Chain A
């Protein structure tokens, strides 16, 4: 009651939010880059592997998809160092977690993409004498990437939002910046209004830009 909006303190500490936004984007970009490598390797392996390997890959995918991200973040940051003797920063820990997390989602994306590549293309590759490696690298993967591009951009945008969970281990990304301003200035409504606008603006700008890229590389039907 009687709450009047006052954004002055938010602008004074805006560097916390701006720096946070850039770090959120950085975390998302690095994680999806590593996630794409994990996803590609495991998906290609999966479609050509025997039962045992398939079960292990499916186990990894199902485990990650069915456990809350925050628990995985805690597990890697607080749990893992108690059993293995390595030291890493909160940021490294979060990137590792989010990479494994996105990798699991991308295995599924790429696997169904690989299966959607028309059989005739592979046969045609064989007919003109391409080796199995050439068929994979020059025929199957490029077509698969075009097919999976929309799912890939959706994954990226949802990863960008998931970076907010990094705040629980004090990685100074956007949500952490919001909490800092929340606790230090008590301009609560203002800071969350600004941060909500920043997430929305960034997310939809990314979505719009990625849709343009998709249109450029649309798979021929």
Chain B
């Protein structure tokens, strides 16, 4: 039993690398898209605000699994052909982007209005106000929940196995298909996911404590 699992380790490690790669892509892409859309939600004109609100509430209202299937099976029907890997990354990025939008809204919303007004009073432009006044303060409120939310990307990435992508989850299932050692392999997989995500949650909690001295 043990020898079979040791034999499978390199294969599992490759799957784990795919899991990390999917998560990393999703986290980076959603951070960019989410911050841009979040700024649109907080400061944008009415139609933009409205569009971002609908986007975020729709995405957060449906299961990630449905989102993944919709993107994977639905896009070719409208003429967009993405490899399963990129379809999965796209779907997970949509899901994470909606989260980032909400983190940003929460963080920026927690900065007292007086800060904005003071910046305006000394003649800073909109971009300067964001870059020098709002974002440096909002950053401390944004970072802890955002890091904690990275675990959602790692956990969500396990669903890409359903599109036939050999991530850690799929690699585990394939090794079980050959060795019939279901329990040890699932536990091994659980421990790997746990190690990654628990480290992220600890980092988030530590940062939160580190930043908690700031009161209005």
Contacts and interface: CB of A to CB of B under 8 A. Distances in A.
Contact of A69 (B154, B155, B172): B155
Contact of A179 (B69, B74, B173, B198): B69
Nearest to B185: A79
Contact of B183 (A80, A164, A195): A80
A183 to B, nearest CB: 9
A68 B155 contact: yes
Interface in B65-95: 65-66, 69-70, 73-74, 77-79
A123 interface: no
A188 B71 CA distance: 10
Interface stretch (A109-117, A130-138, A143-151, A199-207): A199-207
Interface in A164-186: 164-165, 167-168, 175, 178-179, 182
Interface size class of B (residues with CB under 8 A): 35 or more
B16 to A, nearest CB: 13
A128 interface: no
A67 B197 contact: yes
Contacts of A161: 61-63
A67 B190 contact: yes
Contact of B159 (A65, A70, A179): A70
Would you call the interface of chain B mostly helix, strand, loop, or mixed?
helix
A83 B66 CA distance: 32
A66 B201 contact: yes
B128 interface: no
B69 A196 contact: no
Contacts of A82: 180, 182-183
A199 B198 CA distance: 30
Contact of B194 (A63, A163, A182, A196): A63
A67 B162 CA distance: 17
B190 A164 contact: no
Contacts of A163: 63
B106 interface: no
Interface string B152-186: 00111111011000000100110010001011001
A196 B182 contact: no
Given A192-B73, A192-B74, A204-B61, A66 B66 contact: no
Contact of A200 (B61, B161, B190): B61
A70 B159 CA distance: 7
A62 interface: yes
B63 A164 contact: yes
A189 B162 CA distance: 19
Interface of A: 1, 3, 62-63, 65-72, 74-75, 78-80, 82-83, 161-165, 167-168, 175, 178-179, 182, 188-189, 192, 195-196, 199-200, 203-204
